[in-house]
Amino acid sequence: MNPKFAEYSQPDVLVDTEWLAANLDTPGIRIVESNEDLLLYDVGHIPGAVHIDWRRDLNDQTTRDYVGPEAFAELCRRNGITPDTTVIFYGDKSNWWACYAFWVFQLFGHTKAKVLDGGRDKWEAEGRPLTRATPKPEPVDYPVPAQRDDASHRAYFQQTLEHMRAGGRMVDVRSPKEYSGEMTHMPEYPQEGVLRGGHIPGARSCPWARAAKEDKTFKTRAELEAIYAGELGLKTDDDIIAYCRIGERSSHTWFVLKYLLGYQKVRNYDGSWTEWGNMVRTPIEKSI
Amino acid sequence: MSYPAALQEIIEFFELLPEPERRENLIHYSDAAASCVRKEGQVFDLEDVRKDEECTDTVGVFLHVDEAGAARFAIELGPKVQTLTKAMTAILCRGLNGSTPEEVLAVPADFVPRIVGADLVRLRSQTVYYVLSRMKTAVKMLLDRRRAQAADASDRNTSLPAA
């Protein structure tokens, strides 16, 4: 095992590029690419990888919500994923969407899941093979999960509001200018329909990127602890909510806190700033 | 609304495609974006290279308008630009090269969903509109510059002392 992983709270939640390259054909594994760039998978992907599109496959198409148990089971079936399959997620943007897809899989209790450390960027940077050949997995059975377990992993608006009023710990993982209220869009992105700039009162700023190295891999446990325990003062039994704009960058931080550092109760507020910032009669703070 | 003929042809081609073939053709166009760059020996009247705060990477737009009034674009994209934006770049170069500046300025953006399909026009893919806006900006800058130059020349002529 990669010695860096051994330091994490759950070392087996990550694989590195070297391991994946040697295990592309290992039975019982399904590699899943999830990207922000909608056509990136079509341009080339890790051999054998299937594509899960965050918007088309994971979001409900008419309600701002995630797919239900039936649709999740169907998604798994058509991608050759059974409850015993180990799903290895990777993607662009330092694994934002890979962590997001991983998080959605946890809503349905699919715990045989891992993330490729460094994601697509590292795989490409190392000159490892990509293909345009699309796998055609044999349809398999995936029993419909009894329910979607939102309570353990997800925070709704009302819960976040109560959390704020109770002085609960919140981590705003957006860029500093989004947090302060100076910008209503993410750096390098167009406006996404946010009416107000600022942050949830009481939330601490800690941009997601602080958890990643230049090569897009996660920082070491010691480096992460220095940030989240040292600077933010988070304790392992704190009830923590992470948020961003729509829940993808905060999935990255959720993954770091829960799996790499072992925080016991971390939830992702996927409504995030596009909900909170626009909600009528909802308080915000600015720091400009 | 009418579009320049070459762009109209591309729109009609994409509209008839089922989703898998639409994606396949978008990939072909994204591959072709590399050929939209400046070629050796080409001369341009205007160069607008910048990285806007709301974009992931630098986009360079190069424009030449010949004596007959036909516009020719070259576009250079930074490596972080999304695949769909690359595809739209190649589509727009092919669809708008040869048009007059006025025709380029009159192109409405409503053709984008007809090419890329409703599924791909969504949050985090809005940069597909960006390249068209940059091409229009380049045309407008060039027209403004030429108008200013013409006005300067006219002023100089009228202020010359009588012989």
| B31-51 pLDDT per residue, tens | 999 999 999 999 999 999 998
* pLDDT value, residue B124: 65
Chain B residues contacting A, CB < 8 Å?
A: 23-24, 26-27, 30, 53-56, 82-84, 87, 119-120, 122-127, 130
Q: If you measure CA to CA, which chain B residue comes closest to A248? A: B124
The values of phi and psi at residue A113, to 5°, are -145, 145
The pLDDT confidence band at residue B159, using thresholds 50, 70 and 90, is: confident
Residues in chain B with CB shorter than 8 Å from the CB of A192 are 123
Report the C-alpha gap between B59 and B128 in whole angstroms.
13
Residues whose CB is less than 8 angstroms from the CB of residue B49 and which lie 6 or more positions away in sequence, other chains included: B58, B59, B60, B61, B76
Between A and B, how many residue pairs show a Cβ–Cβ distance under 8 A?
A: 49
Q: If you measure CA to CA, which chain B residue comes closest to A42? A: B27
Q: Mean pLDDT, to the nearest integer, of A8-36?
A: 98
DSSP A64: S
* pLDDT value, residue A74: 98
Is residue A174 within 8 Å of residue A184, measured between CB atoms? no
Q: Which of A1-5, A83-87, A222-226 has the lowest mean pLDDT?
A: A1-5
Report the C-alpha gap between B106 and A119 in whole angstroms.
42
Distance between A214 CA and the closest CA of chain B, angstroms: 15
Per residue in A132-156, pLDDT (tens digit) is 999 999 989 999 999 999 999 999 9
**How would you classify the pairing of strands B46-50 and B59-65?**
antiparallel
Distance between B145 CA and the closest CA of chain A, angstroms: 28
The end-to-end CA distance of chain B, in Å, is 53
Report the C-alpha gap between A9 and A233 in whole angstroms.
18
Q: Which domains does chain A have, with CATH numbers?
A: 3-149 (3.40.250.10), 154-276 (3.40.250.10)
Q: Which residues pair with A102 in a beta bridge?
A: none
The pLDDT confidence band at residue B2, using thresholds 50, 70 and 90, is: confident
Residue B163 has pLDDT above 90, yes or no: no
Report the C-alpha gap between A216 and B3 in whole angstroms.
43
The widest CA-to-CA distance across chain B, in whole angstroms, is 73
Residues whose CB is less than 8 angstroms from the CB of residue A210 and which lie 6 or more positions away in sequence, other chains included: A219, A227
For the entire predicted model, the pTM comes to 0.91
Task: State both tokens at A187.
Answer: 């750096």
The widest CA-to-CA distance across chain A, in whole angstroms, is 55
Task: State both tokens at A84.
Answer: 């015993």
DSSP A119: H
Q: Mean pLDDT, to the nearest integer, of A166-188?
A: 91
Reported ipTM exceeds the 0.85 cut = no
Q: Which domains does chain B have, with CATH numbers?
A: 5-151 (3.90.1010.10)
Report the C-alpha gap between B137 and B144 in whole angstroms.
10
* pLDDT value, residue B160: 66
* pLDDT value, residue B118: 77
Report the C-alpha gap between A196 and A278 in whole angstroms.
7
Residues in chain B with CB shorter than 8 Å from the CB of A43 are 27, 30, 83
Per residue in B140-157, pLDDT (tens digit) is 999 999 999 888 888 887
Report CA Rg, chain B: 18
Residues in chain B with CB shorter than 8 Å from the CB of A185 are 54
Q: Which residues pair with A146 in a beta bridge?
A: none
Report the C-alpha gap between A123 and A100 in whole angstroms.
19
Per residue in A234-251, pLDDT (tens digit) is 999 999 999 999 999 999
Using a CB cutoff of 8 Å and minimum separation of 24, what contacts does B58-61 make? Answer: B59/B130, B59/B131, B59/B134, B61/B134, B61/B135, B61/B137, B61/B138
Element housing B93 (H / E): helix B83-96
Report the C-alpha gap between B49 and B75 in whole angstroms.
9
Q: Which of B28, B59, B82, B123 would best serve as a mutation to test chain A binding (most A beta carbons within 10 A)?
A: B123
Nearest to A43 among B53, B83, B120 (CB): B83
Per residue in B116-128, pLDDT (tens digit) is 887 777 766 667 7
Q: Which of B57, B115, B124 would best serve as a mutation to test chain A binding (most A beta carbons within 10 A)?
A: B124
* pLDDT value, residue A222: 98
10 Å Cβ neighbour count for B152?
10
10 Å Cβ neighbour count for A204?
15
Task: State both tokens at A92.
Answer: 């662009």
B116-144: b (≥16 Cβ within 10 Å) or e: bbebbbebbbbbbebbbebbbebbeebee
